[in-house]
Structure 1
Amino acid sequence: MAEIAVLRDAVSRLCAGAGAVVWIEGEPGIGKSSLVAAGARLGEELGCQVSRGVADQLVHPPPLGVLLDCLEIGPRSSDPRRAQIAAFLSARRPALDLADATYAAAVEMVVALVDELCTVDPMMLIVDDVQWADDASLDVCRRLASAAAHLPLLLVLSYRPGTHRTAVRRLRDVARRRDVIRIPLGPFDPEAVRSLLTELVGAPPGAGLVKLAAQAMGNPLYLRELIESLVREDLVDIGAEAEVRDPGPGMVPRSLAAALDSRLSFVPAGTVELMRAAALFGGEFAVTELATLLGRPAIDFSADLQEAVAAGILVEAGRRMRFRHPLIRQALYDGMPAALRAALHLDVARALEAASVEPQRVAQHLLASGVVGNRWARRWLTDAGPVLANRAPNLAAELLRRELDHDPSDEHERASLGMTLAQVLIATGEHEVAAVQARQALEAAIDPGDRGHLWWMLARALFSGGHNDAAVATLHRALGSSDLPDAWRARLLGSLAMFQRAGCGDVDTADATAREALRTGEAAGDAFATAYALTHLWISHSVRRQHRLALGSVDRAIEALGTVADHVDLRAFALHGRIFSLQNLSRWSDAEAALRDARDFLRTANRADDTTSGVTAAVLMFWLGRWDDAQAELNAAEQNTSASTYRGLREGGPGWLWHGVAALIATRRGERARAAAHLRAGFDRPVVTVADRESTDFLLVARSLAAEQEGDLRKALDRLGGFLERRPGEMTLTHQWLPGLVRLALAVDDRSAAEAGVRACLAEAAAEQVPARAAASADRCRGLYHADPAPLRSAVAHYRDNGVPVELAGALEDLAAVLAQRSEIAQARTALDEAIDLYSGFGATWDIRRAVARLRGYGLRRGVRGARAKRAGHGWEALTPTERKIALLVAAGRSTPDIAQNMFLTRRTAQTHISRILAKLGMRSRVEIAGAVFSSEPDSVAADR
């Protein structure tokens, strides 16, 4: 058939090193699984690694469940990589922060495992019924779909339409790409139905049989089930034609589910009852689970299992058993009275808990039971709630709400359940509801530690919901409690300091609060509270431009947290703050080293692809002129910008920065449509607090530049007006944008605005504890305003010495303009040529056009050095230095995780670079990169060895 031919071609290309994504779509029973099985056989025959998994229709599927089964990841795996992932997932680590990154980290580990397996042999990874997969497995599939084109990986996904989950829609969006091989399976046409009927009964079908078969709507599985039930009941006469004896409407069950159920009458009663028990576990089950539920050794019911296999009810699925079709399982499940199903689901939950199975599995059966108020269930939920909240928040919320609605009589029990529910709601972004729940839990809470935690959550929910004043008032009220434990008092004071500064900019009051938090935290010996207070002091020193003190505070915070990988978000916040302070001190090479340190920590903490780390790196790469690298960081972070936040420490500033840096690079490169899209997305988010506003500066500058490109210099100037004065408590580094404001003001002959820009920048420079970036910006502003080349040369020397090409290029352009204005044409041309060379290096095509037009106004025209070569768009010369190094590592057979670790990149960023390399070289796979490197050894690549 044509579909098999398509799969055979894809597998053949896989064996040659070219990966792809195959998307098989069709309704249940249409033949997706058969096609997938045929593809798996082809892969095995040609020597590929083949891993196949089947997702199950559960209300709350276990996180990563289908991928763990597919890749045989388990604690007893002989492969240490698989065993490590299983051990990581089974760990029960208490976490202070409001969300545990366990499964986000596990996603990265699974993706990395597949990447590494692909370096051994070409791999087919098959997920059948992907629409039922859990969100984490879908995320892995989506990530692998983006990588498959340049790995020896054939990702085969079968999908049944009609699922509306967000994660499924995101995966379907990937499947709509042009490079995805789509195989739609539709119902059989009438001729194919006749052929199948002939094959099934051994004779051409008569008119009555054809009419009856039309009920199957061309679905081959339903046709088979229908015909097999007719044959078993001896309702078909076979002669020259095959015809039903009585084609009346009542001669067979009307529903296909009932037709499937009729098959069960031909197997022993004991087998049917065993299958009904197995149906409680879903479409797949482990024999050990069934034994645990029944309280019997597997040998006792092995004969019934074999009977079910012989009857076609069950099939083997690796180490598990699977119902041949969901309808079979559904017929068995629906055949039980509802009350019996509920009781049995509760029994399953108890049995799994006794066997120490992961809590998500227990919770699924507890939810399915519908039982509320059961003493055992409530005790289990109270104990397992915190872990469940981190790993399956939606499932946890549903169970917790149900129990709380039943109104537990025990006050401590109600408080514990309510606290866990509040934690879940904050993690899922339901801040308003979380605040209500935290208040209700506070009314029932008796333990002082629980009350401290609830006050913390209530304040966080209020602040995250945009109610900063209410959050501050809540913290004051909490701190008035006489029985508040010192550790929680210190943490609440740290939160109060953050909210006082972030909400209304009251940095002096916030400082006093933070110092009190620091004293209390140190006295209590609480590392989190101590480091939390120090990170606030880092913020306040940065606001005051005391960057050396800021660096000292953040270093103390990192030291206070010690070497234990706890409090990952707080440590990441401190490490990123260190990068920021080093930039402000013009210690750019140290900032790069600090970024590597941060990524080493995040890798150790299984947060290697932390989104906020990518945004921090992109900002650093922007100023260093490595715009392709910055874009790679931003592209890698794109999938998770909604989660760009340090949980509970600072809100989603990285999201604004992500859009802002992307918009500014696109604008300066003349990519207007892309820039406009980022500007719309960035300004679509409401700016509420001071902390929000200070993250929007890149967006504001990009919007100003867009107006300048449209020829409206006055609008462009007006859009920068907000940088003339920082609001109280605001950290925004206005000095880095003020030279642009002065340039625009002079261009529209607004001397008062230009003078205001100079004054603002001088004030920024005066506030610096040691002269650094603001001082250099002030030199640029003064040089422009007074048409004096001396301060501009000072700024050029600063940027040249410290290695900041973006600001160096701008200062050189300004110097060229002032020199040309003074008729020093030769020196002006030298400065302009160097500026244009720098702009060309990071692709700032708009800056080149602007600089040439600006200098033309002073009578300076280019041409002495001839036309500069445009940046290559294709071939080895188009590769950036980073991409060249990665190409060599790819050619050496290194996996993406290895490349990322070697280059101090996130795995996603490394993958983005590989995608760019393939696009620039016009290649489709890593094998082609390796072949090109080792066969031709281009000089530009060999030089990087």
Structure 2
Amino acid sequence: MTVLIERAGCVGREDELGELASRLALTRASGSAAILALGGRGMGKTALLRGLADRAATPALKARAGAWEQGTPGAALRQLLGEDPPADPADAADALVARALVVAVGDEPGLIVLDDADLADAFSLQAIASALRRHRDSPFLVVLAATRSTAFLSEIAADAIRIEGLDASAIAELGALRGRVLHPAMAEVLTRHTAGNPRDAVALLDELAPSQWVRPETQLPAPSHVRDEVQAALAGCTPEGRALAEALAVLGEGASLGQAATLAGLADPLTAVDALAAAGLTETSRDHLPRWRTPLVGAAVLAAMGARRAADAHQRAAQIVDDEVGRVRHLVAATPMADADLADEVARLAQRRGDEGAWADAAALYRDASRLTVDPLDRDDRLIRSVDALVAAGDGTGAAALVPVIEGLRETPLRDAVLAYLAILRGRATEAEVRLKRAWDIVNADREPETAALIAQRHVLHSLAQCRGTELVTWADRAISLAGRDTAAGVEAAAIRGLGLAMSGRFEDAHDAYVLAAREVGHSAQTQRVTMGRGWLGVLADEPDESRSLLEGVTDPRVLGGSTRISLWALAWLARVQFLMGEGEAALHTVAAGRALAAESGIALITPLLEWTATETHLLNGSWEDAARAARAAEAGAQGYEIMRVPAMLARAHIAEARSDFRAVLRILEPLTHAPTGSALTEPAIWPWAETYAAALVAEGRLDEADAFLGPHETRAREEQHRSAQARLATARGRWHGARGDLVGVRETFDSALGLLEGLPLRYERARVTFAYGQALRRAGRRRDADALLSAARDQWDGMGARTFVDAAQRELRAGGVRAPRGRRGPVDLTPQEEAVAEMVASGLSNREVAAQLFVSPKTVQYHLTRIYSKLGVRGRTELAAMSAEPAVESSTGSSAEPTEES
């Protein structure tokens, strides 16, 4: 099977290759080193070594040990040297190093690789160990690949890297190399089935017919080499060991040892546990429960049992397991033909699990029911419901793989609603709109109230993604009326209805709605939906502490059998609230978890929300490239839905704002000024864009437009008594007063903003208001007051690790000049404002960018530049930049002293 892996190439090992290449390069300075690459059988260690050798500039000395040569001294060393090694280990070590360095190209380090090093003869390993000790300063790296570590290998190589299974994208690449283009869902199935083992994955790709790679519900077998190994191991096992193996294979993951012993008919299973471990089939945990060495072993054991014995065992297992889903699934596994009664029983259980919010269970059960159903119309209906449950569980990738199958079925309201549901999660607003309209047009609510309620509930999600609060509430009420509050559609509609009320500015009603929903849902998988909704509302309603607590509890879809989609929403809003509370590092960790879950599930709808927070956090940290990358990811994912487009716009706008490119800010956000009446885009509490747009208008000198624009937003925020929204808008209004020279207006407005934020743990918002207040006072000539505020803002930014804004506050403080030294400016007497302008112009900023950052006009910047050029005796920006590092200029900008009097 090694040949298969080598033909596939070194796929999915870029991190490991990078690590090894880095270790190789380090030997130039640090001298000889060794590293152990550990991985199970078939994990691609040989391909990794070959990939490293191919990348290295120097030809590698390569060898592969074999168990049959362990008793032959120097067998591995002979391969490395290409000749018989010296008899003395020290001489052999010297010969090995000489050989490695002789083939080296130029000053490149030498590379020695030994595959299957745990099977190598002792003499060869001794020679390698001696080479490392005797030639510590020589530039060469030894890479030992092994399935298991030994004391000797650990002594030779203190460092090790673990070769784990490949991820689904790498498995898909392997498939492409084998001529199999796998759907992402199928790649996930194959990855889970093989634990990412490339040898096993390649074997299955070669052995199975193309038709078996079409649908992700396909039950994959074990590859032939695993079946052969397991068959041989079972043949050598005791009868008790084989019986326990078969019981474990039938019961599947999660079975207890007691259940397995009962099914196997063993009074004392521990002897059988030892037998399976000795046969290499299982690994035993602390609780004595055997676990398969790889997931494929269980599949191979089932194959060895044969269909009849496996079916009989499943029939018995149905009487042993203690949960209803497990019991029914064992009955299904024991029933190869259509069975109408069992199909109906399974479908009823599927619906019940769906009503409880356990959608993953419901999806599997509906699929089982479809297979057992006799009537073709019912069979199609149950298959469609299985896909719907997959979408509800958040498995967008798995559901998308079945779209061609569903589209091939006759059109029904349910079919259109399910396809619309998937379109929503994939961010395809137009497709969802068309399919939902068609579904509602053809459904008969009197005859099919359940289906009509489901369609209405999908309209709820569609309205949420469109940020249409009033429309959302209307559809939610319709869904609840049709289905009842205690059904799956009713509960989900109620869980989102509160957000529709908030998007309409009805925050008190939204809180009341969630109190009622939480009381009705109790403690079940549906709790996740209501809790997430309450947490989301908390972000919008200035309740960050409660919001964080609620959202942290529902970010794992495995809790209570919840939904990946709900967990993704929770992660997106948890990251947002962490950012607002000044916890940037935590926010980035949460974003990373959300990105991984989005990639795994195929849900695109929520990605821009995650990337918006990532963009702003990176901006605070001064990580411009990361911020730009996150903003591009947000924009790439922003398709038709407002809940995708707005975060993408905000991410880009904040980058432009940080660069003082206010014309770009206005251009980016201008589409939001045309939001229709009733859209949540006009709600200042929902999307924080209006203050950014207004501040850009002020910075561009468009004061009348800024005044007219701010008025309606300020009125709305006051009417809703939303504190942070009022504070954000007051910041823009304070800048407006400052631009007009109205010092009284500046003080009143900014003091009001800070008062509104008093008691709220929104560190980010408070720092922004404080900084803007200081800027406005500095421009108004109140430098001492400005200094206090700017110093406070700098300290707040510093506490959040916001390097970008710490630097901005420092520039403002220097421009204010309150802390500037007296009589110690050096040979050139620049004023504090001139020092700030000189520093920024020398760094490459344009006059407009300097003006925006110092909150002055471009004409003022040009005036200061003219004086700076005259004082410094330079003729332009280029000479100023060249002079910026000279001691005379540095001395005029780099010292501090007691504050001076205000002028």
TM score, norm. by length of structure 1: 0.51
| Separation of aligned partners in 1, 2:794 and 2:590 | 25
| Separation of aligned partners in 2, 1:606 and 1:401 | 18
Of 727, 744, 761, 1:776 maps to 727
| Separation of aligned partners in 2, 1:624 and 1:385 | 42
| Separation of aligned partners in 2, 1:755 and 1:848 | 32
Of 559, 563, 573, 1:616 maps to 573
- Cα deviations by residue, 1:697-754 (Å, 9 ceiling, x for unpaired): 552344324644xxx554355334445443555434667444444444454xx333x5
| 2:248/2:260 contact within 8 Å kept | no
- Cα deviations by residue, 1:856-898 (Å, 9 ceiling, x for unpaired): 667777569x9xxxxxxxxxxxxxxxxxxxxxxxxxxxxxxxx
1:660, distance to aligned residue in structure 2 (A): 1.5
Letter in 1 for 2:576: V
Letter in 1 for 2:389: Q
Distance verdict in 2 for CA 1:789–1:259, change over 3 Å: closer
Letter in 1 for 2:382: S
Of 513, 517, 526, 1:567 maps to 526
| 1:261/1:328 contact within 8 Å kept | no
Letter in 2 for 1:655: T
Partner of residue 584, structure 2: 627
Partner of residue 482, structure 1: 446
Superposed counterparts of 1:675-694, under 5 Å: 675-694=627-646
1:571, distance to aligned residue in structure 2 (A): 0.5
- Cα deviations by residue, 1:662-702 (Å, 9 ceiling, x for unpaired): 22121122122332332333333132212322444552344
2:793 is the counterpart of 1:841: no
- Cα deviations by residue, 1:119-161 (Å, 9 ceiling, x for unpaired): xxxxxxxxxxxx9xxxxxxxxxxxxxxxxxxxxxxxx996333
1:27, distance to aligned residue in structure 2 (A): 8.8
| Separation of aligned partners in 2, 1:783 and 1:658 | 30
1:819, distance to aligned residue in structure 2 (A): 2.7
Partner of residue 499, structure 1: 462
Of 458, 464, 469, 2:425 maps to 464
Distance verdict in 2 for CA 1:841–1:729, change over 3 Å: same
Supply the RMSD in Å over aligned alpha carbons: 5.8
1:419, distance to aligned residue in structure 2 (A): 2.5
| Separation of aligned partners in 2, 1:376 and 1:527 | 24
Three-state SS of the structure 1 residue aligned to 2:447 is coil
| 1:707/1:716 contact within 8 Å kept | no
| 1:795/1:811 contact within 8 Å kept | no
Distance verdict in 2 for CA 1:562–1:827, change over 3 Å: same
| Separation of aligned partners in 2, 1:256 and 1:805 | 57
Partner of residue 593, structure 1: 546
| 2:654/2:665 contact within 8 Å kept | no
1:807, distance to aligned residue in structure 2 (A): 2.9
Superposed counterparts of 1:296-695, under 5 Å: 297-298=265-266, 317=284, 341-356=306-321, 371=336, 373=338, 382=347, 408-409=374-375, 411-412=377-378, 415-424=381-390, 427=393, 428-429=395-396, 430-432=398-400, 457-465=418-426, 466=428, 467-477=431-441, 479-485=443-449, 489-490=452-453, 492-500=455-463, 502-503=465-466, 509-517=471-479, 524=484, 526=486, 532=492, 538-559=498-519, 561=520, 563-565=522-524, 567-583=526-542, 590-596=543-549, 610=567, 612-631=569-588, 633-634=590-591, 639-642=596-599, 654-695=606-647
Distance verdict in 2 for CA 1:853–1:543, change over 3 Å: same
Letter in 2 for 1:751: G
Partner of residue 110, structure 1: none
- Cα deviations by residue, 1:136-194 (Å, 9 ceiling, x for unpaired): xxxxxxxxxxxxxxxxxxxx996333489xxxx9xxxxxxxxxxxxxx99744775254
| Separation of aligned partners in 2, 1:842 and 1:564 | 37
Letter in 2 for 1:689: Y
1:368, distance to aligned residue in structure 2 (A): 9.1
Distance verdict in 2 for CA 1:441–1:851, change over 3 Å: same
| 1:475/1:492 contact within 8 Å kept | yes
| 2:499/2:537 contact within 8 Å kept | no
How many residue pairs end up in the alignment? 608
| Separation of aligned partners in 2, 1:643 and 1:443 | 30
| Separation of aligned partners in 2, 1:262 and 1:556 | 61
| 1:517/1:529 contact within 8 Å kept | yes
Letter in 2 for 1:824: R
Partner of residue 70, structure 2: 192
Distance verdict in 2 for CA 1:616–1:432, change over 3 Å: closer
| Separation of aligned partners in 1, 2:275 and 2:788 | 85
| 2:763/2:796 contact within 8 Å kept | yes
| Separation of aligned partners in 2, 1:737 and 1:500 | 20
Partner of residue 811, structure 1: 769
- Cα deviations by residue, 1:429-459 (Å, 9 ceiling, x for unpaired): 1455656666778879xxxxxx87x775454
| Separation of aligned partners in 1, 2:512 and 2:579 | 25
Letter in 2 for 1:784: R
Distance verdict in 2 for CA 1:792–1:572, change over 3 Å: farther
Of 748, 751, 775, 2:701 maps to 751
- Cα deviations by residue, 1:448-478 (Å, 9 ceiling, x for unpaired): xxx87x7754542343352221242144236
Three-state SS of the structure 2 residue aligned to 1:483 is coil
Partner of residue 748, structure 2: 794
Of 660, 677, 680, 1:731 maps to 680
Three-state SS of the structure 2 residue aligned to 1:472 is helix
After TM superposition, the structure 1 stretch with the greater mean CA deviation from structure 2, 275-284 or 434-443, is 275-284
| 1:812/1:834 contact within 8 Å kept | yes
| 1:619/1:661 contact within 8 Å kept | yes
| Separation of aligned partners in 1, 2:581 and 2:495 | 26
Letter in 2 for 1:813: F
| 2:366/2:382 contact within 8 Å kept | no
| Separation of aligned partners in 1, 2:233 and 2:405 | 50
| 2:470/2:501 contact within 8 Å kept | no
| 1:572/1:602 contact within 8 Å kept | no
| Separation of aligned partners in 1, 2:495 and 2:237 | 69
| 1:315/1:324 contact within 8 Å kept | yes
1:309, distance to aligned residue in structure 2 (A): 8.5
| Separation of aligned partners in 2, 1:326 and 1:546 | 52
| Separation of aligned partners in 2, 1:625 and 1:307 | 54
| 2:245/2:276 contact within 8 Å kept | no
| Separation of aligned partners in 2, 1:566 and 1:310 | 37
| Separation of aligned partners in 2, 1:401 and 1:525 | 26
| Separation of aligned partners in 2, 1:843 and 1:530 | 44
Letter in 1 for 2:308: A
Distance verdict in 2 for CA 1:382–1:27, change over 3 Å: farther
| Separation of aligned partners in 2, 1:328 and 1:476 | 48
| 1:659/1:682 contact within 8 Å kept | yes
Of 695, 711, 716, 1:767 maps to 716
- Cα deviations by residue, 1:311-332 (Å, 9 ceiling, x for unpaired): 9798995756799999999999
Partner of residue 147, structure 2: none
TM score, norm. by length of structure 2: 0.53
| Separation of aligned partners in 2, 1:185 and 1:322 | 34
| 1:777/1:795 contact within 8 Å kept | no
| 1:724/1:757 contact within 8 Å kept | no
Partner of residue 93, structure 1: none
Q: Which runs of 5+ in 1 are unaligned?
A: 1-25, 29-130, 132-155, 170-183, 198-216, 224-254, 445-450, 584-589, 646-650, 867-945
| Separation of aligned partners in 2, 1:727 and 1:843 | 39
Of 137, 142, 161, 2:42 maps to 161
Distance verdict in 2 for CA 1:683–1:350, change over 3 Å: same
Partner of residue 873, structure 1: none
% identical aligned pairs: 15
